Amino acid sequence: MIRRRAIPRLLCAAVLVLGATGLSQTAPGTAGRAAARSMEPACPPPGGGTCYVEWFDFAGRRGIELSPEIGVCYNTSSAGAVRGTNMTNRTVHLWPSSDCVGSATALVASGRSWNDPSHTYFSFRPIR
C-alpha cells in the first residue's frame, strides 16, 4: 500500500521539478535573436561588390577581414595598421589598442580609405 502511494508522489514531484526548470528559463529563442542581431554583417558595401576591411602595416604587409560583423572587435596584426580601406556599409572605428577598449581614435566612413603613418591602429570595429 505504501508503494502504491509513493510511486505516484515521486512521479508527481519529478514532473513538478522538470516543469519548474523549464519555466524558469527565458522565452524560447530570445537569446538566439539577440545574438543574431549583434552578429549582423556590415555588408553589402556601397555600390555592391565584395565586403571587407583591408589594412597595411609599415612594411606593406596586407591584412583583410571579409564580411566583418557589426559590433565585433577585430585585430589588425601584431605590427598594426597605418593605412587601409573600409569597403562595408558601416562606419569603422579604429583603436590604438588590440582589444577595442576605451575611445576609438579614428573613424573611417563607408567606402573610404585612410593613410596615417603617424598613428598605428591595432584593432577595428564596424558600428551601427
Exposed/middle/buried for 62, CB within 10 Å: 0-12, 13-18, 19+?
Answer: exposed
- What pLDDT digit, counting tens, does each position of 51-81 carry? 999 999 999 999 999 999 999 999 998 899 9
* CA atoms of 72 and 11, how far apart (whole Å): 47
Q: In the predicted model, is pLDDT for residue 4 greater than 70?
A: no
* CA atoms of 125 and 104, how far apart (whole Å): 9
Q: In the predicted model, is pLDDT for residue 35 greater than 60?
A: no
* CA atoms of 102 and 93, how far apart (whole Å): 11
- What pLDDT digit, counting tens, does each position of 84-114 carry? 999 999 999 999 999 999 999 999 999 999 9
Q: Where are the domains of the chain?
A: 2-35, 40-126
Cell numbers at residue 73, please?
A: 572587435
CATH of 40-126 given 2.60.20, 2.70.98, 2.40.10, 3.40.50? 2.60.20
Q: What pLDDT does residue 78 have?
A: 86
Q: What pLDDT does residue 42 have?
A: 79
